[in-house]
């Protein structure tokens, strides 16, 4: 049985027992345990703090599994215990696991499937991206903090490109081994190989790779003189989780300028005009970096914003909550979480399926036991590792008036989604963060 099937069964059983299913980060850690990785390896590969993985996500994951299986589950015995449990569930004659036809929608974590009725369109950003990739040599950069819907939008952009008859290659840098992220030659060869495989072309790396001219020129020749000449339609290459590159300075300093050079080639060369690049990255990666501006600033920037009241009501109605323009529910929820798409979606899911009222949800939301505990703890751990940011956030959360911050500090806190700026003055982006960090974050 493959890993995805095991996760489906575990989540079905968690829902049956009235517990929250595994969220995307817990699944990430479980997969790492499955592959016998250390917590440090899991954190590094997934762009998380090792303290967050070790102290927050792993204990939550193992606690959920222990409660479900009624056996103490540790990192050491996790795979054996879970496999044994799942095997018994499958063998039960009375088993009612129905993975393909769940009684209720999946718990909202990670990307929203492209055919899901619960996806809310991001006007006008979607239309701008669709129009841009129709242009020769285009480059689109989708950026936002984590959990804002970047990958969900990418899936729809890829689908749109396919419907135009374009060739599409979808790459996620989370799938690249660490060794390839530390060596530009290995990284670019792997990139070429992955593109070649997805286009179902014959690999001709050895014909184009030449140590005397270097890996960047070899890679460029491979694309310009082979891949792009082999296809008769535009080629869209989507690179998700580009932010992973930012932390690997040796590769980043070569690869990011290479992408820029391909973008510039599209302005001069008809062959290169076939290439349309879409890169997706989290702005939270800016936090540990010593920077004065975004590490990648070319092409059309597409920033994902917050949900409007209309969008919140639309999502609620798709969950059959029947919120109207006159009702206060959407306004109250927006006041708490500021229209954050993922937080809105999780709240509406709980209101529909978890037998909780809006007032109960709002009361417990900014606490360590509320539905946003993982989200808040992730930010808390990041701030504990950045004392300068924690000190600045403290001043914003405690003040009843907008606060002036150092530009780079303000930039980083905005990139995390924790504050909003108006004429260079900072205020909390929502009440959830103000209430939580005032009460539960020691430095606040």
Cα–Cα nearest to 50, from 39, 37, 34, 58: 39
Q: What is the pLDDT of residue 441?
A: 67
Mean pLDDT (whole number) for 187-201? 96
Domains parsed from the chain with CATH numbers: 3-91 (no CATH), 125-303 (3.40.50.300), 309-364 (no CATH), 373-439 (no CATH)
Give the mean model confidence (pLDDT) for residues 28-56.
Answer: 85
- Determine phi and psi for 143, rounding to 5 degrees: -135, 145
pLDDT of 97 above 80: no
80: pLDDT strictly greater than 80: yes
CA angle 119, 123, 128 (to 5 degrees): 115
Over the stretch 118-144, which tens digit does the pLDDT of each residue have?
Answer: 999 998 999 999 999 999 999 999 999
Selection from 143, 127, 60 nearest residue 377 by Cα: 60
CA distance 414 to 422: 11
167 pairs with which residues across the strands?
235
Q: Residue 159 pLDDT more than 50? A: yes
Which tokens go with 342? 């993922």
Asked whether the predicted pLDDT for residue 203 surpasses 90, the reply is yes
pTM of the model: 0.75
pLDDT at position 98 over 60: no
pLDDT at 341 over 90: yes
With bands split at pLDDT 50, 70 and 90, how would you rate the model's confidence at 101?
Answer: very low
**What is the mean pLDDT of the segment spanning 139-154?**
93
Higher per-residue pLDDT: 202 or 284: 202
pLDDT tens readout for residues 390-428 = 999 999 999 999 999 998 899 899 989 999 999 889 999
The structure tokens listed for 229 are 């000449």
What percent of the chain lies above the pLDDT cut of 90? 61
Q: How many residues does the chain have?
A: 444
- DSSP bridge partners of 146: none
| Residues of the chain above pLDDT 70, percent | 93
pLDDT beyond 90 at 56: no
CB neighbours of 423 closer than 8 A, spacing ≥ 6? Answer: none
Question: Which of 338, 346, 331 is CA-nearest to residue 429?
Answer: 338
Q: How many other C-beta atoms lie within 10 A of the C-beta of residue 72?
A: 11
Residue 444 predicted with pLDDT over 60: no
Q: Which residue has the higher pLDDT, 294 or 74?
A: 74
Classify each residue of 307-320 as buried b or exposed e, where b means 16 or more C-beta atoms within 10 Å of its C-beta. beeebbbebbebbe
Of 271 and 105, more confident = 271
Ranges 27-36, 93-102, 240-249, 401-410: which has the least confidence: 93-102
Q: Which residues lie across from 426 on neighbouring strands?
A: 403, 421
Given a cut of 60, whether residue 95 has pLDDT beyond it is no
Q: What is the mean pLDDT of residues 69-80?
A: 91
Task: Write the pLDDT tens digit of every residue in 211-230.
Answer: 999 999 999 999 999 999 99
Rounded to whole angstroms, how far apart are CA atoms 301 and 125? 10
**What are the C-alpha distances in Å from 26 to residues 4, 64, 362?**
13, 10, 24
Q: How far apart are CA 227 and CA 279, in angstroms?
A: 19
pLDDT at 91: 73
Mean pLDDT of the 14-35 span: 83
Q: What is the dihedral of CA 267, 161, 257, 185, to 10 degrees?
A: -120
Residue of higher predicted confidence among 46 and 133:
133
Q: Quick one: pLDDT band at residue 440, thresholds 50, 70, 90?
A: confident
Say whether 85 sits in a helix, a strand or coil.
helix
pLDDT bucket at 291, cuts 50 / 70 / 90: low
């Amino acid at each position: 049985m493959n890993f995805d099937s095991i996760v489906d069964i575990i989540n079905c059983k968690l829902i049956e027992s009235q517990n929250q299913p595994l969220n995307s980060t817990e699944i990430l850690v479980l997969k790492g345990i499955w592959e016998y990785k250390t917590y440090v390896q899991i954190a590094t590969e997934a762009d998380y703090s090792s303290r967050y993985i070790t102290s927050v996500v792993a204990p939550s994951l193992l606690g959920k599994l222990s409660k479900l299986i009624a056996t103490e589950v540790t990192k050491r015995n996790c795979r054996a215990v879970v496999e044994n449990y799942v095997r018994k569930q499958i063998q039960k004659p009375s088993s009612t696991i129905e993975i393909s036809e769940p009684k209720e929608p999946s718990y909202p974590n990670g990307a929203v499937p492209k055919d899901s009725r619960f996806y809310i369109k991001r006007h006008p950003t979607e239309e701008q991206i669709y129009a841009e990739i129709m242009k020769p040599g285009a480059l689109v950069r989708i950026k936002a903090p984590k959990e804002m819907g970047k990958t969900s939008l990418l899936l729809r952009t890829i689908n749109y490109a396919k419907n135009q008859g374009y060739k599409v290659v979808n790459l996620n840098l989370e799938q690249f081994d660490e060794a390839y992220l530390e060596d530009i030659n290995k990284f670019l060869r792997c990139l070429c190989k992955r593109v070649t495989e997805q286009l179902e072309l014959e690999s001709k790396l050895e014909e184009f790779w030449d140590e005397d001219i270097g890996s960047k020129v070899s890679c460029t020749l491979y694309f310009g003189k082979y891949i792009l000449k082999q296809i008769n339609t535009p080629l869209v290459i989507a690179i998700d989780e580009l932010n992973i590159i930012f932390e690997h300075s040796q590769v980043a300093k070569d690869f990011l300028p290479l992408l820029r050079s391909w973008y510039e080639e599209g302005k001069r060369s008809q062959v290169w005009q076939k290439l349309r690049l879409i890169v997706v990255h989290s702005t939270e990666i800016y936090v540990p970096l010593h920077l004065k501006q975004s590490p990648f600033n070319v092409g059309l920037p597409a920033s994902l914003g917050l949900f409007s009241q209309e969008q919140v009501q639309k999502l609620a109605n798709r969950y059959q909550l029947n919120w109207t323009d006159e009702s206060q529910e959407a306004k109250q929820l927006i006041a708490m979480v500021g229209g954050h798409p993922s937080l809105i979606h999780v709240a509406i899911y709980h209101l529909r399926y978890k037998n909780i009222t809006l007032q109960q949800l709002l009361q417990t939301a900014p606490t360590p036991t509320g539905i946003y505990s993982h989200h808040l703890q992730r930010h808390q751990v990041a701030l504990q590792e950045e004392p300068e940011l924690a000190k600045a956030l403290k001043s914003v959360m405690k003040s009843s008036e907008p606060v002036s911050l150092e530009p780079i500090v303000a930039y980083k806190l905005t990139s995390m989604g924790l504050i909003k700026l108006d004429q260079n003055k900072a205020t909390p982006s929502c009440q959830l963060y103000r209430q939580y960090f005032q009460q539960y974050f020691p430095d606040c």
